[in-house]
Amino acid sequence: MLRNPEKGVGEMRPQSGKAMMETRTMTALAALIAFSVVLTRFLSYAPEGPLRMSVGNMPIVLAGILFGPVGGALAGFAADVIGASVQGYGFNPLLIPTPILMGLIPGLLRPILDREATYLRFLLVSILPYIVGSIGYQSYILYTMYGGSYSIWFIYGWRAVIFIITPLVDTFIIYILFRRNVFAHIGISDITVKKKAR
């Protein structure tokens, strides 16, 4: 018995659309991971000690917003492992929770952006993973590893200043990208920033 060709074509369309979305997601995740590695490699201050700081977290935060907690956490993990290999540090399991949190927390907070995508909400989504991961957790781990020459309060104070300023820059960039519907145009986000009526 011959199959109805029109029905067959109709049945393939949802699968094709789903496959295209998965391809876009994987491509975007790979690009964000690569961007994070490049930023960390060329625009970070990373001496051997507790004063290291990185500007490579913005793409990971963005991955969490775009692809949820799982996608964000995977992006953070992959970027850290690849970046450590590129920079010659080697993989440190004590430090891996921080980049994972950088993608996980924005993914968990994404629903507040779905309800209303304001600048202050983007700021909350961006700054919270820095407070929990970079300032809270990683500062203590770096102190236990390298803190012989520095007091724990100096380390926390130094990193608090750096990682309060950094998410302000991240938020500005991320907000502008969503305000201009960059991710909606390529079909990987439906978050929209309402423009004020003039």
> What is the domain partition of the chain in residue ranges?
14-185
pLDDT of residue 13: 45
pLDDT of residue 127: 96
CA gap 124, 109 in Å, rounded: 9
Say if residues 32 and 60 touch (Cβ distance below 8 Å): yes
- Cβ-Cβ contacts under 8 Å for 106 (sequence gap 6 or more): 61, 62, 64, 65, 72, 125, 126, 128, 129
∠ Cα 151 157 160 (to 5°): 140
Model confidence, pTM: 0.84
pLDDT of residue 46: 58
- Positions in the chain whose pLDDT score sits under 50: 1-3, 5-15
Phi, psi dihedrals of residue 53, rounded to the nearest 5°: -145, 150
Query: Is 14-185 a domain of CATH 3.40.190.10?
Result: no
